[in-house]
Structure 1
Amino acid sequence: MKLFIQLTVLFIAFISHKHEAIAISNLTYTSFVFPVNKHTDAAKTLYSINLMTTFVNMQFSHANFLIDIEGPLTWHDCILLWSTDPETSCPKDKLCKSPISCEEVECTRFRANSFEKSSCPPMTNRSTSPGWGFCTCPVNLKNPINGNCVQPELNGDSFAANASDGRNPFLVYHDINIYAACAPSNSFTSFPTNVSGVMAFSNSPYALPAYYSRSSIKASVALCLPSTSSANGVLFFGSGPFYLLPHSDVDLRSLLSYTPLLKRPDSFSYFIGVNAIVIKHRSIDVVGTTTTKLSTTEPYTTLKTDIYNWVIRRYSVVTKRMLRADPIAPFSLCYRSNIDGTQADVNFPDIEFSLPDGKNWTIYTSNLIKQVTNDVACLAFVDGGATSEHAIVIGTFQMEDNFLHFDIENLSLGFSSSLLNKDTSCANFNFTTGSMDMYP
């Protein structure tokens, strides 16, 4: 009888209209969960989540969206279609979305809130959606890979995600209803293979967290980037708890140190205060408290030139006994990691970011030294230039196998430093689907 009830619930879920979420009030879930992919086939290393985009013929279609914690709006490869029956009118192999008119208030609001005004072409109400007769709403955005301007068209959008209790995904899907934008397929030529969208997790009023600020799912993003493309990392959207194997009884939040998340009036990005960079008991002060940005589209941490030069000089001193190698761009300090066919036994010193309230984010070797070739490893920091807007931009190599909790509701960032030191990694979430016994 119990099995029959479980199968009945699943059947009802799949015959619901499109990918409408199951409205069962006693299901205990605290987050949505997404597998994270690492891509190395574009101009720089990037990371995506896998989303369910539509429900057709009794099954979900899936697509990969870049993780962007700076972008103002989600956008992807789709077309606008005004129709009373979009499922039958939509061309094959295309996603069709409902257009937002240029006359609607949301079009005006987004354009007013966008920071992409001076560097992109003017926005014009130049087109109409076939069969609709109203002007569409093109908006200015930037491609996070190459920085080029794009003008996708605003729409009402819906995706689906697996619910989770932090240990497993459930066989229950939750709708994510947001404003997004449709761009033509040629807008994604610079993207990794099989990635056809950008999911915005920034503090923009049109990014995903803003839609859940007053719901039972909390505006919180927990990000764990994998260090390999052969295994999935994990992204949670929600309050937690969060677990990784083999420590299935340890809530990762208990391992985190927290520091305030800072905002800037001219940016949707997330910032933290870094007071100093410390290498072997010596430090350089970082002027200002809102100059350290976190980015999921920059592959390596970049430092303003004066800070970068100090780091390189200091790190050269504390590693003077290690065999050097010729620099390999974009790095300037490299080491021999293979000597006469033997892997060198090298103990690289850590680097610490000294944060407010006495907290330290320690960058260990796994996030500090990049193996560039079989024989050469380099300090994975990059010179951001003398006129860089930000003193520090923390890139994804320094985030891999670190657990980061963006607690947007409480404006704080939780960080673990390397999970490898805690006998786990970002590839250790249990994506085995939880059973219907999750129902109380």
Structure 2
Amino acid sequence: MYLLLQLLVTVLTFMSHGHVAIIVYAQPYTSVVAPIKKHIDAAKPLYSVEIITTYDQNKHSPANFLIDIDAPFIWHDCIVLAESYKTNCPSNTLCPSPMSCEDYQCDDVRTIYSYKNNPSCPEDPGHTSLGGWGCACPVNVVDPVTSSCGQALLNYDDFTMYTSDGRKVGVDAFNKFYGANPNAACAPSSSFASFPANVSGVMAFSSSPYAFPAYLYQPLKKSLALCIPSKPSDRGVLFFGTGPYYLLPQLNVDVRSYLSYTPLVKREGSFGYFINVNGIVIKTRSINVPTNTTAKLSTLDPYTTLRTDIYKSVVRRFSMVTKRLHYAKPIAPFGLCYSTSTTGLKVPDIDFILPNGKKWTISTTNSIKQVTNKVACLAFVDGGATSEPEIVIGTFQFEDNFLEFNLQNSTLGFSSSLLRKKTSCTNFNFTPTGNP
């Protein structure tokens, strides 16, 4: 119903002196919005987004999906059932309609837009019958925590998000929700055993035509903004749309004014997002990186990984500029750690030098991880001598940074730490009235 309302455009046409005038109704919202939560109860820190999956008994029910900006499609805990079998849907279970193996999307996903780089996945999962209804469409899925391969069945799904004008959620009573109908996949509940508690799916925000952004239409523009929190007790925010974006207490400052932009680059065989890095600077000293070094942005890797040659250069330089500090025995996976009796260790910035002279500054809050009460470590990891790509920028470096993936212009907007702007990712106003 929501999708039909969005597609309905009021057009008034009248004739006057041989001219035609067209008045088009403009939607009062500019984005859709959802809260982001940090989880620390899995094998590694992960982040989820809250999406509404059902509407029952006059109540919207949300579910939590891991944010994956590299996944080819959405998959979650549900059971595919043909319409004639919907009465058999168990209580408190999602039962979307199945995709037939004869639908063109089935072959498209299975042959092109699939999880193809995992050696534990079969090359062809084969077709599956569905209780006399016909043949379903099985696809491979990869657990982002364990990297193990499983199977799911493609379906026709229905998700809902709140609208926003950049300042609040639900701009008015008639434009509170935005519906989307993606092709997703249903996996058995056992597939999510390694996930954080109360997280039951993977939300794909990649460049794949079967990722969630591909199903969000006008008036929304293809721009994904992520602002992830640093604490499990706080809520970050995800926007999809044109902006503007506002964070308390600065309700008259569009966050986009803080952003610098660099081109996104494509990498064969991946639906994720990459940027070029020309150098790394620590306290005015430049660390040379190989020509055409590429950095992948990841919402599943907890810390930035560097190819061994780059990593050693960074650690060597960082050690020199922090030699006044007391070193501690390294705690895996980190290689450089410091003794500290309190949190808040202050160290020099690390600047990633990008094309066109742009600079992404990694400040102390995003470079130093307090591992224990007495030990803090440089939150960069040795990725190995042959790691590809050379750099993977992980989520610890994203926390309280505002990132805008403009999928139309193929650019990445980045703020560096919002804490230096006297705000944070937890400061979006999720109250429907918009009052602080």
Mark yes or no: TM-score above 0.5.
yes
Residues 72 and 115, structure 2, Cα contact 8 Å, conserved in 1: no
d(CA) in 1 for partners of 2:355, 2:73: 31
Tell me the equivalent position of 1:76: 76
Partner of 2:213: 209
Q: Are 1:231 and 2:234 matched, yes or no?
A: yes
Partner of residue 176, structure 1: 180
Greater CA deviation, 188-197 or 103-112? Answer: 103-112
* Residue in 1 that maps onto 2:424: 425
Equivalent position of 1:385 in the other structure: 384
Distance, in Å, in 2 between the alignment partners of 1:336 and 1:162 is 45
Give the CA deviation at 1:232. 0.3
Alpha-carbon offset, residue 20 of structure 1:
6.1
Determine the C-alpha separation between the residues in 2 that align with 1:30 and 1:202: 21
Change in Cα spacing, 1:188 to 1:426, as seen in structure 2 (3 Å) is same
Contact 1:220-1:238 within 8 A present in 2 as well: yes
1:268 counterpart (266, 271, 296): 271
Between 1:176-185 and 1:113-122, the stretch displaced more is 113-122
SS in 1 for 2:203: strand
Secondary structure of the 2:398 match is coil
Q: Deviations over 1:150-190 (max 9, x none)?
A: 22111111100000001100051110111100000000011
Cα distance in 2 for partners of 1:106, 1:196 equals 24
Cα 1:20–1:414 change in 2 (3 A) is closer
What is the CA–CA distance in structure 2 between the aligned matches of 1:402 and 1:408, rounded to whole Å?
Answer: 19
Residue 9 of structure 1 is matched in structure 2 by: none
Deviations 1:281-318 (A, max 9, x none): 22222224362000000000000001001111111111
2:131 aligns with 130
Q: Equivalent residue for 2:223?
A: 220
Distance 1:54 1:115 in 2: 26
Look up the equivalent residue of 2:350 and give its one-letter code. I
Contact 2:351 2:362 in 1 (8 A): yes
Match of 1:269, as an amino acid? Answer: G
- Give the residue type in structure 2 aligned to 1:282: R
The SS at the match of 1:169 is: coil
Cα distance in 1 for residues equivalent to 2:339 and 2:140: 46
Q: 2:247 aligns with which of 207, 223, 244?
A: 244
Deviation sequence 1:258-296 (CA, Å, 0-9, x none): 000111121101000100111112222222436200000
- How far the C-alpha of 1:139 sits from its partner, in A, is 1.0
Change (3 A) 1:153 1:57: same
Deviation at 1:327, TM superposition (A): 0.7
1:200 alignment counterpart: 204
Contact 2:36 2:235 in 1 (8 A): yes
C-alpha change, 1:345 and 1:165, in structure 2 (3 Å) is closer
2:250 and 2:124 map into 1 onto residues whose CA distance is 51
Aligned to 1:7: none
Contact 2:349 2:362 in 1 (8 A): yes
Alpha-carbon contact 1:21-1:174 (below 8 Å) kept: no
Contact 1:336–1:344 under 8 Å retained in 2: no
Cα separation, 1, equivalents of 2:190 and 2:230? 29
Show the counterpart of 2:306: 303
Q: CA deviation at 1:98?
A: 0.7
The alpha carbon displacement at 1:105 in A equals 0.8
Question: 1:126 Cα shift?
Answer: 4.2
Read off the aligned partner of 2:196 and give its amino acid letter. Answer: P
Which of these residues, 324, 327, 333, is aligned with residue 327 of structure 2?
A: 324
- Is the alpha carbon distance of 1:372 and 1:346 closer, same or farther for their aligned partners in structure 2, counting shifts above 3 Å? closer
Aligned match of 1:159 = 159
Q: Which letter maps to 2:297? A: L
- Alpha-carbon distance change, 59 to 85 in structure 1, aligned in 2, over 3 angstroms: farther
- SS of 2:160's equivalent? strand
1:64-92 Cα shifts (integer Å, max 9, x gaps): 00000000000000000002473x44211
Rounded Cα–Cα distance in structure 2 between residues aligned with 1:344 and 1:173? 42
* SS of 1:248 mapped into structure 2: strand
Q: Which residue of 1 aligns with 2:32?
A: 32
Distance 2:5 2:340 in 1: 54
- The answer to whether the 8 A contact 1:83-1:131 is kept is no
SS in 1 for 2:181: strand
How far apart are 1:140 and its partner, in Å?
Answer: 1.8
Equivalents in 1 of 2:232, 2:45: separation in Å? Answer: 10
SS where residue 307 of structure 1 aligns? helix
C-alpha separation in 2, matches of 1:327 and 1:207: 39
Match runs of 1:3-42 below 5 Å:
22-23=5-6, 26-42=26-42
What code does the residue aligned with 1:190 have?
S
State the identity as a percent: 57
Report SS of the residue matched to 1:216.
coil
| Match in the other structure for 1:10 | none
Matches within 5 A, 1:391-402: 391-402=390-401
Q: CA RMSD in A?
A: 1.8
- Alpha-carbon deviations, 1:198-243, whole Å to 9, x = none? 000001111112233x632111110000000111000001110000
Q: What is the rounded CA distance, in whole Å, between the counterparts of 1:195 and 1:115 in structure 2?
A: 22
Alignment correspondent of 2:316: 313
Relative distance call for 1:383 and 1:351 in structure 2 (3 A) is same
Unaligned runs of 5+ in 2: 9-24
Aligned to 1:59: 59
Contact 1:277 1:284 (8 Å CA) reproduced: yes
